[in-house]
Chains A and B, each alone.
Chain A
Amino acid sequence: MTSREYPALALIALPALATVLLLFAPTSLVQGLARLAALPTAALALTLTVLALHASAEPVIGDWLVVDVAGGLLVGVIGVVGLASVLVSPAYLGAGTDSLVSPERRQRIYYATLYLFWAILLAVPLVGNLGAAWLLVEATTAASALLVGFSGHARALEAGWKYLVLTSLGLGVALLGIVMLAAGIPTAGLGGLSWQALSTYSSGSETALIAYLLLLAGLAAKIGWAPVHNWLPDAHSEAPPPVSALLSAALLPAVLLVAWRSQHALAPVVGEHTAQTVLIVFGLASLTVAVPFLWRSLPWKRLLAYSSLEHMGVIALGIAFGTPLALAGVAIHIVAHAVAKALGFYAATPLLSHDPLAGEHAVTGIGRSKPALGTTMGISLAALAGLPPSPLFVSEVLIVAGGFQAGHPWAASATALLLALGFLGLAHALIETTAGDSPPRRQGSIAGLRGVTALTCVSVVLLLSLVAAAVVLPGSDLVDALVRGLS
């Protein structure tokens, strides 16, 4: 074992152990234990990120475990968003009493399920095998569906049910693709589905293409790519805000990494151009579907959910273009989207405390009625819109430029046009949310506002640091490692 494999295994074991402890700890200790375990988990995740980036030229590649630059970046993102979600959860839990479970078990079940979800998420970028990756992705469905419907409200139950049924069926289709791939790989057993073994598929390119399409179509249902995105706006808008942040900032890109690794491994079999075209179609379809909704007056979390659809589309396009410029853009985009989107979702807890109807209609003038909250929402929305100096502006420019560089001028032009239209929609929402008319609202103390304000300060520093990173990233060894993937 190398110096990166131990922390990788510890990173999966720590939150899993915390899940068990949370299930059996005395009730009075549950919240403290959850906070206590979150810090070393996030620290370990960031340590692994540093180790993976430092040794970018020598990734750890095994049948069970991989530690590479892409996985390292994702682990850091999941670690930090998970930590923040645990830290803001007391405000969510304190703001209401409704839940799927009895009041005395509410806190325990919430934290145990959140940790289980977090542990599985942390394992997804590190897994060295398509079959095992599928198992983990399917396992996230069970844990996260419980969290989506956690409030027990009728709308949350509907969202959780849709999420469970649609993503399970989608993953069933993906598994059919995996079985087809397994049938055409000479190596039997688990090793046959390792990322490197996938390129040894030898049962003909036509069957490989169908398997690839089934796999991508199934994963698309979990990533939320159009046209199989129906669960996404519902689940993201009805889940508890800390869970919405994990779903959008961590789950979607983690599953997207599985699609990315599959595309990279199978491109030699199905053809580079074909493999890229499938992702371009999903990317442009997602942008096309998302943009009209970004122009509509939607409740805050629902607006953020459609923004996730847009951003997952952008990342798909960046991966498809596959040039160093585009992949530099993808790396920045994944991290910056996570920071900005998680902040936006965390703001939903104080927002709902300030305006209880914000879950059902678009909010306006928050900057007038509660300047601190309006500032947080404004920063999140401005960053997500790609308003300079947002790092998402730089990453989108890199991805579009990468599209031209890759010889996809029509796809790159369409991406630029759709991004511009999406920007206009979100810019309008930004103005209305922060500076629009402010109806009379509840005054006084607001649940979770202090914590969210502190997170806003941290997020601004992170977002500005990412702008600086975006300037130096293209042409670096890290981008070379992303281009090479696990080959």
Chain B
Amino acid sequence: MSSALIWTLVGLGLGVLVVRRRSLAVALVTAQALVLVGVALDEAESGGDVLAAGALAVRAIVLAGLFLLLVSRTRAVRPVRARVAPLARAGVAVAFALALTWLVPAIGLVSRDAERGVLALVAFGISTAALRRATLFQIIGIVLVENALALAALQLPGGASVAIELGVALDLILVTVVAVVFYERIFAAFGTADSAALRALRD
């Protein structure tokens, strides 16, 4: 896998962190997943590898469908304001990614660029969940982290277990389906998709 492709994936991840519109974030995270599908198919050496790539593709399409359905069913009067401005978000996330790269010297993947890309995407995913107030972005943050881990699985020297890859894809779809149920109910109960409204439970 070329370095340019890895940094394209990282760029798409950073885009998710800074864009304002939910539909654009869904498009970026889906594009990221589809790039991973392409890489998986390109590097496939056995029927199992093709099956794992197929699972990644199904995952990408199902999640995109769920997210877009959710966006269309929960149109807010005004978009939820993030608690941190886009440039500041990007700054915090990049600093987090650099810190993670410094703290984790080697993962054991086939190239150092792949390792940096994985760590940067994990940092962007966690930052998205932490810094965006819109609840949909918190789910997308989880998907970003899972995309990072899919990249890591593709760049393992001996390849990852197909069973584990299929399981991870299935788990992510399950978690997202449950998150979508919650999202709709939260929107109905609180009248907003702003996670700042979820503050009743404090000690």
Contact = CB atoms under 8 A, between A and B. Distances in A.
B174 A139 contact: yes
A233 interface: yes
B126 A135 contact: no
B79 interface: no
B179 interface: yes
Given A145-B182, A146-B178, A149-B185, A176 B152 contact: yes
B203 A298 contact: yes
Interface in B159-184: 159-161, 163-164, 167-168, 171, 174-175, 177-179, 181-182
Contacts of A149: 182, 185
A472 to B, nearest CB: 40
Interface size class of A (residues with CB under 8 A): 35 or more
A355 B144 CA distance: 45
B200 interface: yes
A171 B107 CA distance: 17
B182 A161 contact: yes
B200 A131 contact: no
A296 B171 contact: no
Interface string B106-143: 11110000000010001001100100000100110110
B184 to A, nearest CB: 10
A180 B175 contact: no
Contacts of A25: none
Nearest to B167: A135
A179 B182 contact: no
A154 B190 contact: yes
Given A131-B164, A164-B178, A179-B156, A207 B201 contact: no
A155 B190 CA distance: 11
B171 A161 contact: no
A233 B201 CA distance: 9
Contacts of A207: 105-108
A135 B203 contact: no
Contact of A157 (B109, B138, B158, B182): B182
Contacts of A164: 175, 178-179, 182
**Which of A169, A233, A237 has the most chain B CB atoms inside 10 A of its CB?**
A169
A192 to B, nearest CB: 8
B185 A169 contact: no
A207 B105 CA distance: 7
B4 interface: no
A206 interface: yes
B186 interface: yes
A43 to B, nearest CB: 29
Given A141-B175, A145-B182, A183-B108, A175 B149 contact: yes
Nearest to B138: A165
Contacts of B161: 131, 182, 189-190, 192-193
B104 A210 contact: yes
Given A139-B171, A173-B122, A179-B107, A155 B135 contact: no
B40 interface: no
A168 B158 CA distance: 27
A422 interface: no
A149 to B, nearest CB: 6
Contact of A158 (B105, B122, B138, B201): B201
- If over half of A's interface residues share one DSSP class (helix, strand or loop), that class is named, otherwise mixed; here it is helix
A195 to B, nearest CB: 15
Contacts of B178: 142, 145-146, 164
A180 B199 CA distance: 36
A298 B203 CA distance: 9
A145 B174 CA distance: 11
Interface in A147-167: 149, 152, 154-155, 157-162, 164-165
Contacts of B135: 161
Contacts of B56: none
Interface in A119-157: 131-132, 135, 138-139, 141-142, 145-146, 149, 152, 154-155, 157
Given A164-B175, A179-B153, A183-B109, A155 B164 contact: no
Interface in A286-336: 293, 296, 298, 302
B129 A238 contact: no
B126 A169 contact: yes
A154 B189 contact: yes
A77 to B, nearest CB: 24
A58 B198 CA distance: 50
A142 B203 contact: no
Interface of A: 100, 131-132, 135, 138-139, 141-142, 145-146, 149, 152, 154-155, 157-162, 164-165, 168-169, 172-173, 175-176, 179-180, 182-184, 188-190, 192-193, 203-204, 206-207, 210, 233-234, 237-238, 293, 296, 298, 302
Interface of B: 103-109, 118, 122, 125-126, 129, 135, 138-139, 141-142, 145-146, 148-149, 152-153, 156-161, 163-164, 167-168, 171, 174-175, 177-179, 181-182, 185-186, 189-190, 195, 198-201, 203
Given A175-B149, A193-B161, A233-B203, 12 more contacts: A138-B171, A138-B175, A142-B177, A162-B201, A164-B182, A169-B129, A172-B142, A182-B160, A182-B161, A203-B108, A210-B105, A296-B203
